[in-house]
Structure 1
Amino acid sequence: MKIAFILGQFPVLSETFILNQITGLIDLGHYVEIFAEVPCEEGKQHPAIATYQLATKTHYEPQVPANKLVRLFNLFNVLPKISAKKIISAFRTLNYSRYERESLSLRFFYGAIPFLGSNNYDAFVCHFGPNGNKAVRLRDIGAISGKIVTIFHGYDMTAIPKSCGDNVYERLFATGDLFLPISEHWRNRLIQMGCDPDKIIVHRMGVDLESLTFIPRVISGGSPIRIITVARLVEKKGVEYGIRAVAALVEKFPQITYEIAGDGPLRESLQALIEELGINNKIRLIGWRSNDEIKRLLRCAHILLAPSVTAENGDQEGIPVALMEAMAMGLPVISTFHSGIPELIDDGVSGYLVPERDVDTLALKIFTLIEYPDESTRMARAGRDKIKTKFDINTLNLKFEDILKKLVA
């Protein structure tokens, strides 16, 4: 099959679930190209970008000039370079009665340029709802002609409908071919928003078990207790509550340390909280880390916290990959009753779940894992088993391949 991925930014270090899907399809023998709005300016890249030569397979939208006259002048420079078969599609982007401001500003035209070559694809895989919206518009104007598959993750099911209304995906639901929410939780939400249940298949993201070695954890006596969180420093990750919970246990367990790997807009306020609580020597924000560095941190840790919450703007998680990786490596995990997380963690079996923003219960569950190491060991093994049966990326990629084959047949 010839498969195109439509993305916002690419490559994004935190979105290994997308990268694993792309490389998985390439490994299965399919031709894959990537269409993204902009490159991600994170400095470092995942090694797979070079290994699979993904830079040569990625097409970016041209930058829209700020000056409207330059924008218009460039339009006439670009038109002669568009394939003859797609020239009509290019002019359709200028239909104001249908595309309104996107047409008048020429943003739709510039966004369509990478798709106006001569390549045809069997399927377009759109990660996140807004990219599905883009794909159906591109198909409306004849710029693309393959099947459109939209994968829903989290913010696209919460923050976007909250700000734009539940009808934000109305046309996508009507004309898109298939919808793949990553959890049953989001499947139910799609149906509530008006999506045809017959067009929906729950398809989970996963991790590569072969690269994640199970390591039994031992907490004994006064030995160090290393707790870790891996997350962007944004509201929905709930890092504040992890900090407060660990701070409540420092007096009881002075050997505790808590490292928070990740960066984001809340870094300064979280650092201020750590200083306010007087626990600089126990809790550290260690910034962004590469995937290999994260694995090293997970190997040395005893407990992973993922205290996710619903943000003020409605934004929610999907199912965090960091939780999957930790469970695969034998790390007992504590998270919240949030979004699709209970579909990953069976409370009291493969980890602990607590109510959102409940610092006291979060601290109690950390205390339990420290005081009852046999419980910790049992949960760790159950966690690995859960990943093996439900969240192994190699199995999921085979399933995804089968879904696409049936769709394009």
Structure 2
Amino acid sequence: MPQGLRIGYIVPQFPGQTHIFFWREIKALEAMGHEVHVFSTRKPPAKLISHDWAGEAMARTTYLGRVNPIFALSAVAKLTPKGLPKWLLTEPRAFSKDVLISLAAADRLHAAAKRLNLDHIHAHSAARAAFIAALTHHMGGPRYSLTLHGPLSDYGPGQRFKWRDASFATVITQKLMDEVHEQLAGDLPDRLLIRPMGVDTTNLKRAKPYQPPEHGRPIRIFSCARLNVVKGHQDLMSATRQLIDQGVDVRVEIAGEDDHGGTGYRTQLEDHLKKLRLQDHVKLLGAISNVEVKAKLEQAHLFVLASWHEPLGVAYMEAMSMGVPTVGTDAGGVSELIADGSTGYLVEPKNPGQLARTIRSLAGDPDALLRLSSAGRAHIEANFRAELGAEVLVEEINRLRG
């Protein structure tokens, strides 16, 4: 039996409200017999730390800290002689700024990698975490890899530098893979794999069989995503207003918080909710734990997330794993997860009218809801288990060592 690996695992601002996927993958790697040493840039805001596993996660995470000019200057000497001048001369000014911000953290990671004798470092981001992993490698640290979770434009400057010396990379959708090849051709690692994130299907399963809404009773809709305009919560509210005006009794709960801990986009959603007179029908729950999310999914008749753009969507996976009929938008890579009319339904983003019509149609078709419940669960079990990502990571690291 191969010896267990020692893996460095970097996640930005861990553990945030959307980070349960990373925790599942860490646990899957450990169940396979590997050591996982978790690193992060810094802790998330306190109001965004909601999961029941967050305390354990923070206790075992090494936080690499903010920029420190003195440490950054001392770290420059550890870079390979061929590197820094060329990077600074050929990349945009924003790249140089990110180098200076990341150098001290890379120095700390380099020291930790040497102390822990890490075999490999994986950055679950193409932003600063990937910068830190790449700089650590140039200081003489372990080989590294990265995962792209969204459009390259979301992850800052220096993408060619981050990808150029990676041993391999995973990308969560074919749509993003096409973008990577188009924008970074000539600076990509030899091994690029499509590997979506996944969910713990063993834990995320129903305690009781799914039941469609009863005639004359409210339709319970659950949504879960951070509060940001691109998540389309305002469109779900508008669709809810239309349904109520048409005589359809709908109760909506939205879990998630904005990136400022409740003082940001949440205030605009609250104003929208009041304007639509939905206080009795829509509730903003804030950031809730994974245990509470599971309980809400168990109670829901429908899961709805009306994103304007979604690279893939762990929230959809969780709902489908729980056998909750799911409505998403045909935006980003969602169509690579949800087959419209088969494993869920897709509507146009920014179209509350179509969303309302889809919800109304499904609410009146219990057979369709039962079919979606079963098909969605089967699809996630077959293709989006958390263990699959862990298995790919181990296979690729062992291939490098082989």
- State the TM-score, normalized to the length of structure 2: 0.86
1:223 counterpart (214, 217, 222):
217
2:36 match: 32
Give the drift of 1:391: 0.6
* Alpha-carbon contact 2:224-2:255 (below 8 Å) kept: yes
* Alpha-carbon contact 2:311-2:333 (below 8 Å) kept: yes
Give the drift of 1:372: 1.0
1:211 aligned to 2:203?
yes
* Residue identity (%): 26
2:385 match: 392
1:148 match: 144
Query: Secondary structure of the residue that 2:284 maps to in structure 1?
Result: strand
Cα distance in 1 between the residues matched to 2:379 and 2:98: 51
Cα distance in 2 between the residues matched to 1:180 and 1:276: 44
2:397 match: 404
When the two chains are superposed, the root-mean-square deviation of aligned CA atoms in Å is 2.7
1:256 counterpart (250, 254, 261):
250
Runs of 4+ residues deviating >6 angstroms: 90-94
Report the count of equivalent residues.
379
Give the drift of 1:189: 1.2
1:68 match: none
* Cα gap change, 1:186 to 1:90, in 2 (>3 Å): closer
Cα distance in 1 between the residues matched to 2:281 and 2:130: 44
Cα distance in 2 between the residues matched to 1:103 and 1:288: 33
* Alpha-carbon contact 1:90-1:112 (below 8 Å) kept: no
2:285 match: 286
1:157 aligned to 2:157?
no
Give the drift of 1:328: 1.0
Query: Secondary structure of the residue that 2:393 maps to in structure 1?
Result: helix
- Matches for 1:350-365 after TM superposition, within 5 Å: 350-365=343-358
Cα distance in 2 between the residues matched to 1:294 and 1:206: 16
Give the drift of 1:103: 7.8
* Cα gap change, 1:271 to 1:188, in 2 (>3 Å): same
* Alpha-carbon contact 2:167-2:190 (below 8 Å) kept: no
* Cα gap change, 1:382 to 1:292, in 2 (>3 Å): same
* Cα gap change, 1:349 to 1:405, in 2 (>3 Å): same
Cα distance in 2 between the residues matched to 1:322 and 1:141: 38
* Alpha-carbon contact 1:38-1:61 (below 8 Å) kept: yes
- Matches for 1:96-245 after TM superposition, within 5 Å: 98-99=87-88, 102=96, 107-117=101-111, 118-119=114-115, 120-130=117-127, 131-142=129-140, 144=141, 146-154=142-150, 156-160=151-155, 164=157, 168-195=158-185, 196=188, 198-214=190-206, 215-245=209-239
Deviation digits for residues 326-354 of structure 1 (CA, Å, limit 9, x no counterpart): 11111111111111111111000011001
Query: Secondary structure of the residue that 1:209 maps to in structure 2?
Result: coil
Deviation digits for residues 200-236 of structure 1 (CA, Å, limit 9, x no counterpart): 1011111111112233122221012111110101122
* Cα gap change, 1:405 to 1:321, in 2 (>3 Å): same
- State the TM-score, normalized to the length of structure 1: 0.84
Cα distance in 2 between the residues matched to 1:369 and 1:3: 45
Give the drift of 1:384: 0.5
Cα distance in 2 between the residues matched to 1:223 and 1:108: 55
Query: Secondary structure of the residue that 1:319 maps to in structure 2?
Result: coil
1:379 aligned to 2:372?
yes
* Alpha-carbon contact 2:50-2:287 (below 8 Å) kept: no
Deviation digits for residues 105-162 of structure 1 (CA, Å, limit 9, x no counterpart): 95344222312423332211111112223322222232x1x222110001x524346x
Which range is displaced more, 88-97 or 202-211? 88-97
